[in-house]
Structure 1
Amino acid sequence: MRITGAKTISDAELRATRLINKLELRQTHPIIFEFCKAELLADKYFHTDFEAGKSIAEIIRQRTGLTENGGELVEKAFSLKNPMIKINDLANETKESEHKGFANLIKGVFEMFRNTTTPVPKVNWDINEADALDILSTISLIHRRLDINIKLSTMSPS
């Protein structure tokens, strides 16, 4: 289902408010609102998802000091041999698999929702409200898991 553009300012405001309300009901991570406030208020699904995708790389760079982008950034930050970010203690094969899966999820988001939108004009990238909400929810989940890492890394050993 493709959503048609708003024809009046009132229509646009109602759509933007509806999208923001739905994100709040999903308990979307606050960083989504921080990185995408202008896009959410303008009710631009394409740009909202694009900016949200960039927020992941920015947080990883802030946390690690790395300057890379995309898959290379994720590979270095989440390396099993020398991880700069860990989502768990990597104490067993299951936890290592979870860690690798999380890194792959981030790379997948970059490849599907961020990198693919870069060279494509927004008129050629069809996105509706439901897809935008799902993409933003996935990015929100990634940010919550990155927050867990912050809590793990700041805890002193017992």
Structure 2
Amino acid sequence: MTKSFDDITLRNLSDIISNMLTHTKISEHLSSAGIIEAEQGANKTDRIFYALKKRQEQDRCGNNVLSFVIRLLNPKRYNEESSFENDRTAINEKLIYEGIEIDESGQPRQIVKAKTISEAKSRSLKIKEKVHGIGVHRDILPYCEAEWLKENYFHAILEITKSVAEKLRHLSSYNSDGCELVDDCFGLGKDKKPMLAFNTLQTLSEESEHKGFGNFCKGFFSMYRNPKAHSPKIFEDTQLTQMTEVLVVATIIQNKLDNTFRTGYK
């Protein structure tokens, strides 16, 4: 059960939503959410505020208020990702004080409450804005989002590399790590029967591609994980541009792993 939102939060949310909807759309969305409009309010913000406030008083909780917000932030309503992210960011800047955040799929999740304006703004920043619009693979973000939003890029890079290692373990069921894990997964051996593959290995070209990807993964761990694991943070000026580089490489690897399969040889 979601606890009731105070008037400040309701007013803030109503103000944001009023910029998202026309008067007609407000009526449509309130009705579809089962929320009856109150008699007060002529402008858009007041119409939304008093309707949500009345429903919350009836429910004695904020469940239907949050459900209304989730309905509006349904990705299906948007034609452009940028519009969705703009609305999501604005809503999250207010919900974050309540310990709630709407994720990229439009669903709520519990988080630590923000206590200051600067904290709320920094934690609600769109991740894709921080990396100049790069399409980061979906399996990377859960590992590094907390460090990323705190601008702790040093540890974010380490967490990004963990996302690749964990993907390899999931695909192969091996428990090794780093370069050893890559060899376990993609090593051809004398019989040329690896645990994982993404092509048929029937030609020299395919075999070369297979070996190249394995070496690429090893280079990824050697370049980005090992130095971060062994170098003290105080001696390294890890910048956002460096983290962006790691995100690009990790995304390339993750995309390839999405098309990788177990061969059945091991």
TM-score, length-normalised on structure 1? 0.80
The Cα shift of 1:11 comes to: 8.1
Match of 2:195 among 84, 108, 112: 84
Task: Note if contact 2:217-2:253 (Cα within 8 Å) is conserved in structure 1.
Answer: yes
Could you say which residue in structure 2 is the equivalent of 1:127?
238
- Partner AA of 1:138 in structure 2: V
Could you say which residue in structure 1 is the equivalent of 2:225?
114
Answer with 1 or 2: which has the greater Rg: 2
| CA deviations over 1:76-98 (Å, ceiling 9, x no partner) | 10012221111222121111111
Could you tell me the percent identity over the aligned residues? 37
User: What RMSD, in angstroms, separates the aligned Cα atoms of the two structures?
Assistant: 2.5
Q: Check 1:148–1:130 CA distance in 2 against 1; reply closer, same or farther (3 A cut).
A: same
Could you say which residue in structure 1 is the equivalent of 2:254?
143
CA distance in 2, matches of 1:110, 1:9: 38
**Long gaps (5+) in structure 1:** 1-7, 154-158
The Cα shift of 1:145 comes to: 0.4
Number of aligned residue pairs: 145
The Cα shift of 1:73 comes to: 0.9
The Cα shift of 1:23 comes to: 3.9
Task: Note if contact 1:78-1:99 (Cα within 8 Å) is conserved in structure 2.
Answer: yes
Could you say which residue in structure 1 is the equivalent of 2:15?
none
Q: Does 1:53 align with 2:164?
A: no
**Long gaps (5+) in structure 2:** 1-115
Q: Does 1:71 align with 2:179?
A: yes
CA distance in 2, matches of 1:85, 1:144: 15
Q: Check 1:133–1:11 CA distance in 2 against 1; reply closer, same or farther (3 A cut).
A: farther
Could you say which residue in structure 2 is the equivalent of 1:101?
212
| CA deviations over 1:16-52 (Å, ceiling 9, x no partner) | 8365424482111011111112112212111111001
CA distance in 2, matches of 1:47, 1:85: 29
Task: Note if contact 1:76-1:84 (Cα within 8 Å) is conserved in structure 2.
Answer: yes
CA distance in 2, matches of 1:64, 1:139: 18
- Partner AA of 1:136 in structure 2: L
Task: Note if contact 2:128-2:135 (Cα within 8 Å) is conserved in structure 1.
Answer: no
Could you say which residue in structure 2 is the equivalent of 1:17?
125
Task: Note if contact 1:117-1:125 (Cα within 8 Å) is conserved in structure 2.
Answer: no
Task: Note if contact 2:182-2:217 (Cα within 8 Å) is conserved in structure 1.
Answer: yes
Q: Does 1:29 align with 2:137?
A: yes
Which has a greater percent of helix? 1
CA distance in 1, matches of 2:121, 2:150: 8
CA distance in 2, matches of 1:12, 1:113: 30
Could you say which residue in structure 2 is the equivalent of 1:3?
none
CA distance in 2, matches of 1:61, 1:85: 11
Task: Note if contact 1:12-1:42 (Cα within 8 Å) is conserved in structure 2.
Answer: no
CA distance in 1, matches of 2:182, 2:170: 13
CA distance in 2, matches of 1:132, 1:83: 31
